[in-house]
Amino acid sequence: MTAPPWAPLLLDVAQADPLVAAARLEEAWGQQRLVALAGPGQQGDLAAALGGARGELAALARFGAAVVVGSGGSAGGRHWCLQPLAHLQASAEATAAWLVSLGLEPAACLHLAPLPLHHVSGLLPLVRARQWGGGLRWLAPSLLRRPERLPQDCSLPRDRPVLLSLVPTQLVRLMASPEATAWLAGCTVIWVGGAALPAGLAAAARRARLPLAPCYGATETAAMVCALAPQRFLAGATGCGEPLADVALRLDGATGAVEVRCGRLSPGRLVAGRFLPLPLQPGGWWRSGDGGRIGPQGLQVLGRLDGALHSGGETVFPERLEERLQEQAARARAGLEALLLLARPDPEWGEHLVALVRPRRESEGAELLGVLQAITATWPPAERPRRWQLCPALAPTAAGKWERGRWQRWLDSLEAF
C-alpha cells in the first residue's frame, strides 16, 4: 500500500549504509516528502514526537521536501526540529559564498563526510555537494577508529580542495595519530563545531599547521551561521569568526545569549504529534541557549547558559573551566580521560561546582583527584569545585556533546543514598 503524501518517512540512519540512506532520503525529497532521521536508540522518541495526528502531519506538507532532525540533548533536553530542504539549500549557498571569499570554487571541492546523517552537520555535506556539483565521499566510523590507516584507505586528491567537518572529539582522536595528523594537513578547510574547541587542542592544531575553521551553528539555523577562516585561525585568532552573508548575530542584553536572525531558521518543532512554531523574539530573532561575546574577531561562544553556574554573584561557564583544567592537567601529565563540571545548590553561594572525573587508568583515580585539586587550589572560589567524584562511565556522546542532564541525574542518584 502506498503511503499518503503527508506521511513522514522514518529513516533509521544508524542501521543503514550511508550511501543507501542518502539514496532513500533523496528519493523521498524528490517526492516532496518529510523524512525523519533517527540516530542510535532514537527511533522510539522520534516516533513519539511525530505522533499519529493526521491533521498536524498533513499540514506540514506545505513545507514540501523536509527533514526532522534532533537538536540539543544538553540540560535543556532534545528537540525534534523541522528543516525544509529549501533551508538546507540556503545554508549550502551561504557556505559556498564563504568559500568563494577564501578564493575557493565550491564546485571543484571534494566534501568528506564523517558525521552521521541524523546530525545536521552530517546532512549538510550531502546537500552542499548536490547543490554545488562538488564531490562527496562518506567516511565510515571504522576509518576514524583506525586513524593511522586514513592516508591509505582515504587518500586525498592533490588536484582539488578537500573540505572536512569534525567535532572536537573526532579531532582529538585523529590528532593522536601522526599519520592521521599529516592526513588532516592535506585538507583545505576543516570546519570544527558542535562543541567548544579547547585552547590546548587549537594550539596543537596550529603547531601541526592544520587548516581549522572553528564555526558555530545549530539544527535550528540549518547548521553553520559563522566561521573563522583557516588563515586567521593559523595566525592565532580565536572564536568562531564573522557571520555568514545571510546571517545577523547579536547578544541578548540581559543574559548574553547569542541570538540569530536569518531566512533559514527552523519553522518549528514536533512534540507528541503536535507542530510547535519556533519561539522567536520581536523582529524574528531566535535566542540560542549559548552565552557569547561579539568582538573584533567575531563571535566567541562562552558556553551553554542552561549549564551556567551562578555562585556568589558570579556567572561561571563550566565548559570554559573544563577546558582550562584539561589543559593544565595535560601539562602536569595527569592521566585525565574525561571531565565534567556540574552545578549543585549551595545555601551560602547559591550554587557550587562538583567535578565528575574519569581517570585514564582506574587504579590512578585517587592520585588524579589530588593533582586536580592542587591545580585548582588558587582558582577563584566561584570557579573551584567543592567536591570531586570519580565516574568510570563518564563520556560525551558520539557527536562530542555532553548530556549534562543525564550526568546531573547520575549525580542526584548518588546523593539520594
pLDDT tens per residue, range 326-377: 989 988 989 999 999 998 888 777 788 999 999 998 888 999 999 999 999 9
Nearest Cα neighbor of 388 from 360, 367, 417, 361 is: 367
Phi, psi values for residue 300, rounded to 5°: -115, 120
- Angle formed by the axes of helices 318-331 and 199-207, to 10°? 50
Q: How far apart are CA 207 and CA 192, in angstroms?
A: 17
Task: Name 407's Cβ contacts closer than 8 Å, sequence gap at least 6.
Answer: 340, 342, 356, 391, 394
Q: Is 10 helix (H, G, I), strand (E, B) or coil?
A: strand
Identity at 74, one-letter amino acid code: S
- Report the pLDDT value the prediction gives residue 76, as an integer from 0 to 100: 46
Instruction: Compute the average pLDDT of residues 365-394.
Output: 92
Nearest Cα neighbor of 288 from 71, 53, 39, 91 is: 71
**Residue percentage of the chain with pLDDT more than 90:** 58
pLDDT tens per residue, range 400-415: 778 888 898 999 888 7
Nearest Cα neighbor of 109 from 188, 210, 226, 223 is: 188
pTM of this structure = 0.81
- Report the pLDDT value the prediction gives residue 75, as an integer from 0 to 100: 38
Nearest Cα neighbor of 241 from 113, 97, 98 is: 98
Average predicted confidence (pLDDT) for the chain: 89
Q: Decide: 85 and 29 in contact? Cβ < 8 Å.
A: yes
Q: What cell was used for 161?
A: 580542495
pLDDT at 42 over 60: yes
Alpha carbons within 13 angstroms on the beta-carbon side of residue 312 total 7
pLDDT tens per residue, range 82-112: 999 999 999 999 999 999 999 999 999 999 9
Phi, psi values for residue 228, rounded to 5°: -95, 130
Q: How far apart are CA 372 and CA 370, in angstroms?
A: 6
Query: Bigger pLDDT: 4 or 135?
Result: 135
- Domains, the chain: 9-84 (no CATH), 85-265+281-304 (3.40.50.12780), 308-415 (3.30.300.30)
Q: What cell was used for 291?
A: 552565552
Q: Is 393 helix (H, G, I), strand (E, B) or coil?
A: coil
**Residue 4 pLDDT grade (very low, low, confident, very high; cuts 50, 70, 90):** low
Burial grade of 210 (CB within 10 A; 0-12, 13-18, 19 or more): buried
Query: Bigger pLDDT: 55 or 291?
Result: 291
Neighbours of 257 (CB within 10 A): 17
Question: Which of 227-231, 307-311, 348-352 has the lowest average pLDDT?
Answer: 307-311
Q: Decide: 125 and 131 in contact? Cβ < 8 Å.
A: no
Q: H/E element holding 228?
A: none
Query: Bigger pLDDT: 304 or 146?
Result: 146
pLDDT at 172 over 90: no
Cα torsion 253, 70, 168, 356: sign: positive
pLDDT tens per residue, range 130-167: 999 989 999 988 888 899 999 999 999 999 999 999 98
Range list of H helices, 7-106: 18-30, 43-50, 54-59, 85-101
Start-to-end C-alpha separation, the chain: 54
Instruction: Compute the average pLDDT of residues 205-210.
Output: 97
- Report the pLDDT value the prediction gives residue 250, as an integer from 0 to 100: 97
Instruction: Compute the average pLDDT of residues 255-268.
Output: 95
Grid cell 561575546 is found at 293
Grid cell 495526528 is found at 53
